[in-house]
Chains A and B, each alone.
Chain A
Amino acid sequence: MPDAASLCSHCDLPIPQGVLIEHPQPDRTLSFCCRGCLGAYLIIRGAGLEAFYRKRSWEQPGTPAGAFEASAGAESLEGCLSAEGTLTRMVLIVEGIRCASCVWLIENLVRKMAGVASARVNFATHRLRILFDGAHTTPSALFESVARLGYLPRPYTSDQQRQSAESERRGLLIRFSAAAFLSLQLMGYSWALYAGYFQGMDPQVRLLLQWLAALVATPVIFYAGAPFLKGAFRSLRLGAPNMDLLIALGVLSAFGYSLFALSSGGEVYFDSAAMIVTLILLGRLFETMARARASSAVDRLLRLRPPFARRIETAADGSRRTMEVPSARVAPGDLIAVQPGETIPLDATLEDRETEVDESLVSGESLPVLKQRGQEVLAGTMNLSYAIELRVLRDSSRSYLSRMAALVEEAQARRAPIQKQADRLCALFVPAVLCLSLATWLYWALAASDASAAWLNAISVLVVACPCALGLATPTAILVASGAAARAGILFRGGDILEAAGRVRHVCFDKTGTLTEGAPRVVELAPEGIGPLELLTTAGRIEAGSSHPLAKAICCRAAEDGIEVSSQGGQRTLPGLGVELVLEGSVHRAGNRRMMESAGIELPTASIGTLSEVHVAKDNRYLGCIFLEDSPRPEAGAVLDELRRLGIRTGLLTGDRRGVARSVAEKLGLDECSWELTPEQKALRIRGLKPQAAVMMVGDGINDAPALAEASVGCAMAGGTDIALESSDLVLTRPDLARLPLAIRIARSCLRIVRQNLFWAFSYNLVAMPLAATGHLAPIHSAIAMVASSILVLCNSLRLKSIPGGTSCSNRP
């Protein structure tokens, strides 16, 4: 329990003035910051789970926004329900879980509800699985019971793609475990055979052990190794030699030769074939683990809740009521209601009075735009001023948002899959190996006329050509690098993305919300006949309580300067103009140039360039002007400098006006600058840059999504829109640009380590192959070399652990 009386007993946040809710207890009085927190406390106490407050260890106080009010209709929860016997299972992702006690509380509380058979939260993924009896409770009731506790549940719909990724991971683990278990057995037989090779052994025992080895190796190659064999077959059909083909060639030739040796009484190499499969499966397992970790973290960032709209329905008797329905069910012509601060769910026209909307995420325009009655507002923009009614223009499948989603899909379909470093090398290496193998056979068969040596040596070339180190080279580096990145709050959605990010030579930024804060800040005070503090105090008093970004910025500046501003009420907002407040008998005004002109107040100064202005007046007296600007993030300058040092060109792609774009680009020293771009044009710019260099796009808005998908690497930050997060490959989990150069550095180090690993793996081959071709390579030597090179590759990859901080690693090949 928090000891300071000013902290809320439930959510641990400081209680704002004037909203204290007290709840007397026999021994003490608890204080709460809102009805929701009090409600949560009463529920928890009612269930006898007060131990939660003693046990919890929150690093961050508070509850997720909108948690207490969250509710879900039966329709919206359908996607996360599945039948299990006579019971039903529901899967929710719960936001706001911060410690083990949160899990304990949710599980115990839900379990106590009527009709619930079991409830379990996965600590790693924050997924809550509830098994319940549909006859005794409803999904909505369960959903709300979690929300009432101050956690924000969201329906978890497991789509096809996610399910197949899950089953692929599981299948890989089963294959690997089978391969590992059988290879261990095989090693036992091999040791005996090796010992026999040096010391001599009873031929009968030797034959028995060889047969056992064959028996154990067969499932390893044809069951556990099936993914490689299939991949190899596919690559043969496509005529594009890749890693799988190399692996399959080596494994099959080793296996085939060993079978032949078994019948003719030679040495067998079943262990080499099995070890190659096992180690390469281990490498693949590492890679899927790295990918799964990134995607589950991105899942948590994304809001999976389908968007809702509040439809206004008029009953036969003329009474109106609003119903929350999924946006997809709203038809053109329907009336919907949108509160201030809410996102507009569908493209629509404004039915009643004018309002201001924040279009920054859709168009890049950083200041609110005034919309008149009858004008069109777009889905994804935010309503700022009043509760409004809208007439829906298009159904959700044809809304602006959906058109963006379609553009994203198009860009993603066009983008060629990133070719991995290893596959690139294999495309050259495989034909070379085949040629060498053929040459060996020709030499021994024709020049030396020794048919059995010809086969033996030709096959040896194929076997040594397939190093396990090759299978481990990329995945281990990716696992270690993506782990190091994840600890720094950087999520790469897959190994290929890490490789691509390492090659980036050009980074394009969106402006609003990416390079800039996305909210204006006071940059200059120009008082007229009064002190600057007095101007700020007056402006703050007028603007207090307004949700307009300019008003918020002024109040914020006032608070920074130690001026107490609290809203006394009585303000009148004039959308598109400013705010009026009658105080002590005189009219105070704060607003734009037009407001002053319409009130007949004379303005002494002309406006300067790109800054936003708020003019302040008392009755007819002009008090001065406050200049504001959407200023660059504090870290932006340093980040761009660092990118330049890394040899990366930077560019600005914005939908905002020319002047604003130019001023930001000049201030931060960006190399290129384009303005007034539509989303399509942004994507086109990226496409135009791509032939010259790998391009990264950094953005957060709906209008950036097509460009993010088009770029070699799309990067979004937490706090961006869902569609931007979904179409990006690289996610920064904190809105901090400084992580971007770090991400590139990690990716470059990873790429370098991958190159070193591959270099090693292939140079091992280059040495071993001539030996094999000339018939000098004993199986025991090649086995030792194989293990040693795998260990070397592993250790080299582990060096990536210490990347953050250190700018460069020694460039040892």
Chain B
Amino acid sequence: MLKSTLILILLSLFLGLGAWLVFVWALKKGEFDDPEGPKYRMLDDDEPHHKEDAE
């Protein structure tokens, strides 16, 4: 019982840690720099978008 609790808790810690690392990675890549843009950009359908600009 104690062992399985420990395993589950550690598992949830690692899952959370993974999510946090993804967040930090996205933040460093500049994913949150322009919170306004995407809602307009999704309507631009004619041009295939180039590689996303970092930062």
Contacts and interface: CB of A to CB of B under 8 A. Distances in A.
B40 A129 contact: no
Nearest to B16: A181
Classify chain B's interface size.
Answer: 20 to 34
B16 to A, nearest CB: 6
A319 interface: no
Given A177-B23, A185-B16, A204-B2, A117 B37 contact: no
A82 to B, nearest CB: 10
Contact of B27 (A118, A170, A184, A204): A170
B40 A205 contact: no
B36 A123 contact: yes
A100 B43 CA distance: 10
Given A117-B50, A118-B53, A178-B20, A208 B36 contact: no
A309 B6 CA distance: 72
Nearest to B13: A185
B51 A118 contact: yes
A205 B51 contact: no
Contact of A129 (B16, B47, B50, B53): B53
Interface in B3-55: 5-6, 9, 12-13, 16-17, 19-20, 23-24, 27-28, 33-37, 40, 43-44, 46-47, 50-53, 55
Contacts, number: 61
Interface stretch (A103-111, A656-664, A683-691): A103-111
B6 to A, nearest CB: 7
A564 B23 CA distance: 65
Contacts of A123: 34, 36-37, 40
A766 interface: no
B20 A205 contact: no
Interface string A159-191: 000000000001001100110010011000100
A124 B35 contact: yes
Contacts of B6: 208
A383 B35 CA distance: 43
A489 B40 CA distance: 24
B36 A124 contact: yes
Given A108-B47, A120-B53, A122-B34, A103 B20 contact: no
A204 B2 CA distance: 8
Contacts of A100: 40, 43
Contacts of B46: 51
B19 A174 contact: no
B55 to A, nearest CB: 7
A181 B16 CA distance: 7
A189 B53 CA distance: 41
A205 B23 CA distance: 32
Given A103-B37, A131-B53, A177-B24, A208 B2 contact: yes
A181 B40 contact: no
A434 B17 CA distance: 38
Contacts of A185: 12-13, 16
Given A103-B37, A208-B2, A118 B20 contact: no
A212 interface: yes
Contacts of B37: 103, 121-124
Which of B2, B5, B23, B53: most chain A CB closer than 10 A? Answer: B53
Given A124-B36, A181-B20, A205-B2, A104 B51 contact: no
Given A124-B36, A170-B27, A177 B51 contact: no
21 contacts: A51-B46, A100-B40, A100-B43, A103-B37, A108-B47, A111-B47, A117-B51, A118-B51, A122-B33, A123-B40, A124-B36, A129-B55, A170-B27, A174-B24, A185-B12, A189-B9, A204-B2, A205-B5, A208-B2, A208-B5, A216-B13
Interface of B: 2, 5-6, 9, 12-13, 16-17, 19-20, 23-24, 27-28, 33-37, 40, 43-44, 46-47, 50-53, 55
Given A118-B51, A125-B34, 19 more contacts: A100-B40, A104-B44, A108-B47, A111-B47, A120-B52, A120-B53, A122-B34, A123-B40, A170-B27, A170-B28, A174-B24, A181-B17, A181-B19, A185-B16, A205-B2, A208-B2, A208-B5, A208-B6, A216-B13
Interface of A: 51, 100, 103-104, 108, 111, 117-118, 120-125, 129, 131, 170, 173-174, 177-178, 181, 184-185, 189, 204-205, 208, 212, 216
